[in-house]
C-alpha cells in the first residue's frame, strides 16, 4: 500500500511539475528561464525580413561645370544622374552662390551673375539621393569674370557744303548718336573739333550698336542724321 501510495503521489507531483514548466514557458510567473524554452529561428511559413539598405543600389551622378562665366551671362549646370533601381531621385547642393538658384527635382543650378558678383565661388557640391543612399558629385568652382568692354572707331569725311549747295564756312563740330536698336539712339557724344575725322567710342558692353552722325555750324544749326553704321562688339 505504501508503495502504491508513493507511486500515486509521485505521479501527481510529476503532473504538477509539467504544468509549472508549461506555464513558465508561456511567460506565466514561473522561475524558469522562458527564453531557454522559446523556439529558435523563424516561425514556420514566415519569410525573413528584407534589408532595404542592403538590397538597394546607389544612384550615380556626374557634374560637368565650366570653369568660368562672364558677368551678365547666364550659367546653367544640369548633372547627369541615374539610378539602377529606377528610384525617384532628389538633389541637394552645398555652397550655392548667392546669385544662383537650384532645382531639387532636376539638380539644375542656374544664375546670371552681375558685375557685383565678380570673384571665385569654390567647393560647390551637387548630391543625389534615391531616398536610401546619397551620393556626392565632384566638387567644382566657378570664376565669375569681369565683362570685357569693347570700343568702336568711327571715321568720316568732313562736310564742305551746306544742304543748299553753298560752301560750308562755319563748321563747328559733330554729334554722334547711338544705341542697341536702330532708330532708338539713347547715347550722344559731341565732338567740338571740326578738324578731326575719327573718334573712338569706348567702354562698350558686348552688343550690336547702331550709330548715326550729324554736323553743326557756329549758330548751332544741326544737319540731318547720316546713314546708319552698324558695329558688333564682342
Task: For 149-205, write each residue's pLDDT tens digit.
Answer: 899 999 999 999 999 999 999 999 999 999 999 999 999 999 999 999 999 999 998
**How many structural domains is the chain composed of?**
3
**Domain boundary at 123, 145, 167, which?**
145
Question: Which of 121, 145, 169 is the last residue before a domain boundary?
Answer: 145
Q: Are residues 130 and 65 in the same domain?
A: yes
Do 59 and 141 have their domain in common?
yes
Average pLDDT rounded to a whole number, residues 26-53:
48
Task: Assess whether 178 and 210 both reside in one domain.
Answer: yes
Cα-Cα end-to-end distance for the chain: 125
* Least confident span in 36-40, 65-69, 99-103, 201-205: 36-40
**Contact indicator for 31, 24 with CB cutoff of 8 Å:** yes
State the CATH number of the domain containing residue 71: 2.60.40.10
Confidence of residue 54 (pLDDT cuts 50, 70, 90): confident
Q: What are phi and psi of 114, to 5 degrees?
A: -105, 180
195/41 Cα distance (integer angstroms): 106
Contact yes or no for 207/150 (Cβ under 8 A): no
Query: Cell numbers of 188, please?
Result: 550722344
Supply the range of the domain harboring residue 14: 2-33
Amino acid at each position: 500500500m505504501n508503495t502504491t501510495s508513493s507511486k500515486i503521489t509521485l505521479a501527481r507531483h510529476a503532473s504538477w511539475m509539467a504544468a509549472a514548466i508549461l506555464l513558465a514557458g508561456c511567460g506565466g510567473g514561473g522561475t524558469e528561464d522562458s527564453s531557454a524554452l522559446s523556439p529558435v529561428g523563424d516561425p514556420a511559413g514566415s519569410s525573413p525580413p528584407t534589408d532595404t539598405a542592403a538590397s538597394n543600389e546607389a544612384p550615380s551622378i556626374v557634374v560637368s561645370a565650366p570653369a568660368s562665366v562672364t558677368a551678365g551671362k547666364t550659367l546653367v549646370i544640369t548633372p547627369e544622374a541615374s539610378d539602377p533601381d529606377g528610384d525617384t531621385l532628389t538633389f541637394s547642393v552645398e555652397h550655392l552662390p548667392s546669385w544662383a538658384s537650384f532645382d531639387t527635382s532636376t539638380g539644375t543650378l542656374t544664375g546670371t551673375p552681375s558685375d557685383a558678383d565678380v570673384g571665385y565661388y569654390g567647393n560647390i557640391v551637387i548630391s543625389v539621393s534615391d531616398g536610401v543612399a546619397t551620393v556626392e558629385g565632384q566638387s567644382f568652382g566657378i570664376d565669375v569674370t569681369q565683362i570685357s568692354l569693347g570700343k568702336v572707331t568711327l571715321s568720316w569725311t568732313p562736310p564742305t557744303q551746306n544742304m543748299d549747295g553753298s560752301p560750308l564756312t562755319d563748321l563747328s563740330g559733330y554729334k554722334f548718336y547711338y544705341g542697341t536698336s536702330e532708330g532708338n539712339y539713347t547715347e550722344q557724344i559731341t565732338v567740338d573739333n571740326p578738324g578731326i575725322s575719327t573718334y573712338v567710342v569706348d567702354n562698350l558692353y558686348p552688343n550690336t550698336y547702331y550709330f548715326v552722325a550729324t554736323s553743326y555750324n557756329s549758330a548751332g544749326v544741326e544737319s540731318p542724321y547720316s546713314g546708319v553704321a552698324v558695329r558688333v562688339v564682342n
